[in-house]
Chain A
C-alpha cells in the first residue's frame, strides 16, 4: 500500500513506537490521527509533526473504554476522512514491577485485556468494515515476544498479546479476499518508557530505537508481497530495503 494520501490512525501515539510511527507516516504523506490518553504529550507529538509540515490530528481517548471507541473513530474520520491504515499500538503492562500470575489481581488482568485485546477488537470492529467495503486497508497489531515465550511475570501482558495475535490471524482469515490486510508485528526490544518500566536495569544501548522499528513496520505496510495478511512478523528480523 502506498502511504501517500492515506488516512492513518495510530493508538498510543504520544510516545515511543506509536509516536515514531505517526511521525514517519506523516513524513510519507499520510494524514494521521494520533490517539492517546494524556492531552499534554499528545499535543506535543502533534505539534512536532505539524512543525515539519505533516498533517496530524490529536484525539484524546482511552481504547480500553467502550464509550470512547466511536468517539475516537468519529473524530478521526471527521478530521482526516477515510482511514486506510489502523495501527493498534496502545498497550499496558499492568502494574509494575511485574508480578507472578498467582499474585496478579483479577482486576489488573481484566484491565490489561481491556487495553491490549478488547480495545483493538472494538476499534477494528468500527474501522475495518469501511476498509473492506472499499476493498483496501491495512490493520497492524503491535505484539511482543511475550506472546510466544512464557516469561515468568509477563503472564497478563503475554496472555493479552497472544490473544491479540490470534485475533489478528482470525481476522485475516475472515477478511481474505476483501483487500484488507491484517498483520501482527513483534517490534523487538526498544528503548521506550514501557521497556524501562518492565526492565529498569536494561542496557539501553543494546535496545533498538523506536524510529528504526517504525521504519520496518511502515515498510511492512507498503510491501504486501513480503508482509502478507495473516502473518506474524518480527521486526528485528525484517530485512529493510
Chain B
C-alpha cells in the first residue's frame, strides 16, 4: 500500500521525523482540516459552539439508507452489543508558544507533536494572533540550524529548519520545560472563535498524556454518561494514544502534505479488546480519524510485516498513512467524526468509509438542521452494517 508505512516496536519511543518534502499532486489529503476557507457551492454548516452534552449526530449508512439525525447521547443505542469503541486518549498540549529570535523578532511556534527529550517540533507563524486567519498572518522570521532563540521563556537552539517547519532543542531539565510550556503556552486557537480557548475547553473526558497538538475532537461529545452507557449496552471501550498533529498551517503547500507522520501507542488490552470483538462478530468503531490512522498503520505493520489479515499488535509506531476514497480499511468498520463539507480535505478521507454521494446527503441534512462544523461542533457516525473485509 503506497503512502503507508509504520515502524513498530516495544523499545524506546520511535522518533517522529518530518517527511522529506511535502508531496504535491499526489492524492494526499489533510485530515483534520478546519481552518480552510469555505469551499464555494458547498452547503453551509453552522459555526456555533455546541455544548458537549447537546451534540447532534448525523448517522450515515454506506449501504444506502438515507442519513438520519440523532442525538450523540443515543450512541449506545446506535451500536450493537459486541462492538468495540476505540478512543484516542491524548490530551491537548498548550501547543501555541510565544518565541523571539536573538534579533528580537517575535514569532509563534505551534507544536506539531509530542515533546520528547527537550525537542520541540513545530511550525512557525509570524506576528499576529488567532483572530487573523492563518493564511493572512505575517511571514515568520527565517530560522537556520544553529540559531539561538527564546521559546516559552526558555533558551533553545534550532536543530533543523525547512522553511516554516523547525525543530528546536530546549536547554534545561524536563520538569523546567514542562513548567515553561504550561506557563507560557496556550492551546492552538481557531479563527472562528472570538474568545480565547482555555485548556479546559479542548480536552476529552478521558484525556491522559499531553501528546496532541490539537484536540482529538471527535471524542469531545463522549461524556461519561455516554461512555458508561456504552458499557451497560455491552459495547466494549478501548483506548490508544495518538499524537494528533496540526489541522492547518496556513500554507497551501504545507497543508497538502498534512497529516505529517504521527506517533502512536496501542496498549495490549486494546489489541485484546479488538480481537475479542472480532471473534464475537463485533465491529471496531473509531472515535476520530486519529484512531483510524493509528489502527490502520498498526495493521499494515502486522506480525508478518506484510499487513495481511489486518493483524495488529501492541506497541508504538509512527503512522504516515493517508486516507482517501481509495483506501480500504483493514481494522476499522465505523467512524465518528466531525462534520465536513465537500471540498474540505477531511471530507475526502471520510470517503474511505462511505460513498461521496451518501456523505453529500449527510451534509445536506446537517445544513438543513443547522448543525455546526469544526472542533467544537456536531458530529457524524459512519456505520456500515457488515464486517470489514478480511
Interface-forming stretch among A11-19, A76-84, A153-161, A211-219? A76-84
Chain B residues within 8 Å of A174, by CB = 224, 228
Contact yes or no, A132 B206, CB < 8 A: yes
Query: How far is the CB of B172 from the nearest CB of chain A, in Å?
Result: 13
Most A-side CB within 10 Å, residue of B115, B209, B227 = B209
Q: Is the C-beta of A60 less than 8 angstroms from some C-beta in chain B?
A: yes
Beta-carbon nearest neighbor of A78 in chain B: B178
Chain A residues within 8 Å of B179, by CB = 59-60, 75
Q: Is the C-beta of B64 less than 8 angstroms from some C-beta in chain A?
A: no
Q: Is the C-beta of B208 less than 8 angstroms from some C-beta in chain A?
A: yes
CB contact under 8 A between A133 and B209, given known A60-B179, A70-B200, A71-B182: no
Cβ-neighbour of A133 out of B87, B93, B115, B178 (below 8 A): B87
CB contact under 8 A between A70 and B203, given known A77-B91, A133-B239: yes
Q: Is the C-beta of A181 less than 8 angstroms from some C-beta in chain B?
A: no
Cβ-neighbour of A77 out of B181, B210, B231 (below 8 A): B210
CB contact under 8 A between A134 and B239, given known A57-B175, A74-B199, A129-B206: yes
Contact yes or no, A77 B208, CB < 8 A: yes
Within 8 A of A (CB), among B183-240: 183, 198-200, 203-210, 224, 227-228, 231, 237, 239
Contact yes or no, A74 B205, CB < 8 A: no
Q: How far is the CA of A83 from the CA of B178 in the complex (A)?
A: 16
Q: Is the C-beta of A58 less than 8 angstroms from some C-beta in chain B?
A: yes
CB contact under 8 A between A133 and B182, given known A58-B175, A77-B210, A177-B231: no
Contact yes or no, B208 A130, CB < 8 A: yes
Contact yes or no, A130 B210, CB < 8 A: no
Q: Is the C-beta of A126 less than 8 angstroms from some C-beta in chain B?
A: yes
Contact yes or no, A129 B207, CB < 8 A: yes
Contact yes or no, B89 A133, CB < 8 A: yes
Contact yes or no, A74 B182, CB < 8 A: yes
Query: How far is the CB of B115 from the nearest CB of chain A, in Å?
Result: 7
Tell me how many residues of A have a C-beta within 8 Å of chain B.
Answer: 28
Cβ-neighbour of B210 out of A67, A74, A177 (below 8 A): A74
Chain A residues within 8 Å of B334, by CB = none
Q: Is the C-beta of B142 less than 8 angstroms from some C-beta in chain A?
A: no
Beta-carbon nearest neighbor of A69 in chain B: B200
Q: Is the C-beta of B269 less than 8 angstroms from some C-beta in chain A?
A: yes
Chain B residues within 8 Å of A41, by CB = none
Chain A 197-218 per-residue mask, 1 if CB under 8 angstroms from chain B, else 0 = 0000000000000000000000
Contact yes or no, A130 B89, CB < 8 A: yes
Contact yes or no, A74 B89, CB < 8 A: no
Cβ-neighbour of B237 out of A57, A66, A133 (below 8 A): A133
Within 8 A of B (CB), among A143-179: 174, 177-178
Q: Is the C-beta of A5 less than 8 angstroms from some C-beta in chain B?
A: no
Q: Is the C-beta of B62 less than 8 angstroms from some C-beta in chain A?
A: no
Query: How far is the CB of B217 from the nearest CB of chain A, in Å?
Result: 16
Chain B residues within 8 Å of A130, by CB = 89, 206-208
Cβ-neighbour of A78 out of B115, B228, B267, B269 (below 8 A): B115
Contact yes or no, B267 A134, CB < 8 A: yes
Q: How far is the CA of A1 from the CA of B78 in the complex (A)?
A: 36
Most A-side CB within 10 Å, residue of B91, B115, B178 = B178
Cβ-neighbour of A126 out of B94, B178, B203 (below 8 A): B203
Q: Is the C-beta of A236 less than 8 angstroms from some C-beta in chain B?
A: no
Chain A residues within 8 Å of B93, by CB = 74
CB contact under 8 A between A79 and B174, given known A74-B91, A133-B89, A134-B267: yes
Contact yes or no, A129 B224, CB < 8 A: yes
Query: How far is the CB of A123 from the nearest CB of chain B, in Å?
Result: 13
Chain B 71-98 per-residue mask, 1 if CB under 8 angstroms from chain A, else 0 = 0000000000000000101010110000
Chain A residues within 8 Å of B239, by CB = 133-134
Query: How far is the CB of A129 from the nearest CB of chain B, in Å?
Result: 4
Beta-carbon nearest neighbor of A135 in chain B: B269
Chain B residues within 8 Å of A135, by CB = 269
Query: How far is the CB of B303 from the nearest CB of chain A, in Å?
Result: 24
Query: How far is the CB of A106 from the nearest CB of chain B, in Å?
Result: 26
Query: How far is the CB of B276 from the nearest CB of chain A, in Å?
Result: 14
Chain A residues within 8 Å of B175, by CB = 57-59, 75, 79
Q: How far is the CA of A69 from the CA of B206 in the complex (A)?
A: 15
Query: How far is the CB of A49 from the nearest CB of chain B, in Å?
Result: 13
Chain B 235-270 per-residue mask, 1 if CB under 8 angstroms from chain A, else 0 = 001010000000000000000000000000001010
Query: How far is the CB of A132 from the nearest CB of chain B, in Å?
Result: 7
Q: How far is the CA of A129 from the CA of B210 in the complex (A)?
A: 14
Chain A residues within 8 Å of B174, by CB = 57, 78-79
Chain B residues within 8 Å of A82, by CB = 208-209
Beta-carbon nearest neighbor of A68 in chain B: B182
Most B-side CB within 10 Å, residue of A130, A174, A178 = A130
Q: How far is the CA of A57 from the CA of B174 in the complex (A)?
A: 9
Query: How far is the CB of B264 from the nearest CB of chain A, in Å?
Result: 15
Binding site for A on B (CB under 8 A): 87, 89, 91, 93-94, 115, 174-175, 178-179, 181-183, 198-200, 203-210, 224, 227-228, 231, 237, 239, 267, 269
Q: List 10 A-B contacts (CB under 8 A).
A: A57-B175, A70-B200, A73-B91, A74-B91, A75-B175, A78-B210, A129-B224, A132-B227, A133-B206, A178-B228
- 8 residue pairs, one from A and one from B, having the closest CB atoms: A130-B208, A70-B199, A129-B206, A133-B206, A71-B182, A75-B178, A78-B178, A133-B239
Q: A135-B269, A174-B228 are in contact. List 11 more A-B contacts (CB 8 A).
A: A59-B179, A70-B200, A71-B182, A74-B182, A75-B179, A78-B115, A78-B181, A129-B206, A133-B89, A133-B237, A134-B89
